[in-house]
Amino acid sequence: MTKASEAADAYPGEKRNLNLTSYNTLGVDATASRFIEIKENSELKTLANSGFFSRTKPCILGGGSNILFRGDVRVPVLRISIPGIQTIADTDSNVLVKAGAGVVWHDLVTWCVERDYGGIENLALIPGTCGAAPIQNIGAYGVELDQVFESLELFNLQTERFETFTHEKCMFGYRDSIFKRDLKGRVIVTSITLKLNKPPHDVNTSYYALENYLNQQEITSPGINDLYHAVIAIRKSKLPDPSLIGNAGSFFKNPVISKGQFNKLKENNPGVPSFPAGEGKIKVPAGWLIEQAGWKGKKVGNVGTYDNQALVIVNHGNATGAEIYNHAMNIRESVRDMFGIELTPEVNIVGG
Ligand code: EPU
């Protein structure tokens, strides 16, 4: 493409050769050849009408908290910044709350807790945007998004139309949905709608770390506000703040293995923690496996594994995407060699 035809192709407000360091929480210095910010649904239609989606397959970016730029990104980056939170239905016991894909997830949690709408308080402080939340079915402290999910709206890049997806159509699983599989890269989530509860709330304190914290604080009948603050305190103590030290939360998913494989693992490692994961399946914390393999708190060049949580890979400053990727692959190899278990990245790996 000549410079002249490239310029003619440029979308209004599009940026060229944009540095992405502040657009990814790992703080990787990568460049996007083209960068377009989407603030309203109509802009997607305008892009489609210009033939954009038939020419190119963009990289869709939300808060950049679950992405590793392994190198520069040569496909156009579309950053989804659609704002707005509103209550769209209200009964005696429930509300339907709709949030634009660009709303910061924690801001939605805070907005709901302030209005006494229960259901997502355990998901406080998870980095990222509302549009990214259903992609990996975010979860923490005994709650997953799909438990409160009602529907979402998306733009289908193939049909170039807006569609509504119900809960069933999203095919949620553990850190998984249809958007990570069949529809990967084919849709752009524009809003999500959650069904939340009015008081009296049914709070979820089942997660051991949360239960311990509440006991220590002598909070005997916690409300959603207590849970919100407890989760924030626990996360702050265990997980690094991306504004201080680059990271993308859990780098890998917790592997789910068969009961047979787990029994063998337990024979040699009686202390292995585990959680039931459905019929004949056991979930083993990847953080434990990584710690056993000697990686907890370990620093290699500019990259490291966090001191308090081995599942989090951190950028000690100026790490390249390739360095972080190699570090992750070395961890994966050690765990495979030691336990015969294959770790799967939870973060999306893009570019390079
Ligand atoms: N563990 C270790 N060493 C470590 C870390 C963990 O031995 O360095 C073991 C401990 O036995 C601990 C157990 O792993 O009791 C579980 O650890 P933790 O409660 O920290 O949870 P996790 O399974 O490591 C998951 C999510 C987190 C989420 C927490 C709390 C995944 C991949 N990660 O971590 O999500 O905050 O539970 O619910 O499922 C994220 O997705 O980015 C994320 C941070």
286 CA: nearest ligand 1 atom: 24
Q: Whose CA is nearest to atom 26 of ligand 1?
A: 140
Would you state the torsion angle of the CA atoms of residues 328, 334, 336, 337, taken in this order, to the nearest 10 degrees? 160
Q: Quick check: 4 pLDDT over 50?
A: no
User: What CATH number did the domain enclosing 52 receive?
Assistant: 3.30.43.10
Q: Quick check: 5 pLDDT over 60?
A: no
Q: Are residues 332 and 281 in the same domain?
A: yes
Q: Are residues 153 and 15 in the same domain?
A: no
Q: Are residues 60 and 187 in the same domain?
A: no
Q: What percent of the chain is modeled with pLDDT above 90?
A: 95
Structure tokens given for 307: 């001191």
Best residue among 227, 288, 335 to mutate for probing ligand 1, ranked by most atoms within 8 Å of CB = 288
The residues annotated as belonging to the active site are 175, 250, 346
pLDDT of 282 = 97
Phi, psi of 119 (to 5 degrees): 135, -30
Q: Whose CA is nearest to atom 9 of ligand 1?
A: 288
122 CA: nearest ligand 1 atom: 38
127 CA: nearest ligand 1 atom: 42
Q: How many domains does the chain have?
A: 3
Q: Are residues 89 and 220 in the same domain?
A: yes
Q: How far is the CA of 130 from the centre of ligand 1 (A)?
A: 22
Residue 13 CA, distance from chain mean position: 27
* pLDDT 10s digits, 99-119: 999 999 999 999 999 999 999
248 CA: nearest ligand 1 atom: 42
Phi, psi of 278 (to 5 degrees): 95, 175
Q: Are residues 323 and 221 in the same domain?
A: no
Q: How far is the CA of 247 from the centre of ligand 1 (A)?
A: 15
Q: Quick check: 34 pLDDT over 60?
A: yes
Domain boundary among 80, 101, 134: 80
Q: Are residues 293 and 229 in the same domain?
A: no
Q: How far is the CA of 311 from the centre of ligand 1 (A)?
A: 7
User: What CATH number did the domain enclosing 221 receive?
Assistant: 3.30.465.10
Q: Are residues 71 and 104 in the same domain?
A: no
Domain boundary among 80, 112, 138: 80
Q: Whose CA is nearest to atom 15 of ligand 1?
A: 273
Q: Are residues 98 and 205 in the same domain?
A: yes
pLDDT of 2 = 44
Best residue among 67, 125, 204, 250 to mutate for probing ligand 1, ranked by most atoms within 8 Å of CB = 250
Q: Are residues 91 and 213 in the same domain?
A: yes
Q: Find the residues whose C-beta lies inside 6 A of ligand 1.
A: 140-141, 207, 209, 238-239, 249-250, 253-254, 273, 285, 287-288, 291, 296, 309-311, 346
Domain boundary among 197, 222, 237: 237
> Which residue from 160, 125, 124, 140 is spatially nearest to 47, judged by alpha carbons?
160
> Which residue from 77, 47, 53, 72 is spatially nearest to 187, judged by alpha carbons?
53
Q: Whose CA is nearest to atom 37 of ligand 1?
A: 140
pLDDT of 295 = 98
Q: How far is the CA of 33 from the centre of ligand 1 (A)?
A: 36
> pLDDT class for 9, splitting at 50, 70, 90?
low
Q: Are residues 217 and 246 in the same domain?
A: no
Q: Are residues 269 and 148 in the same domain?
A: no
Average pLDDT score, the chain? 95
Q: Are residues 270 and 293 in the same domain?
A: yes
What is the span of the domain harbouring residue 40?
3-80
Q: What pTM did the predictor assign?
A: 0.94
Q: Quick check: 124 pLDDT over 90?
A: yes
**Exposed e or buried b per residue across 263-291, where buried means at least 16 C-beta atoms within 10 angstroms of its C-beta:** eebeeeeeebebeebeeeebbbbbbbbbb
* pLDDT 10s digits, 216-242: 999 999 999 999 999 999 999 999 999
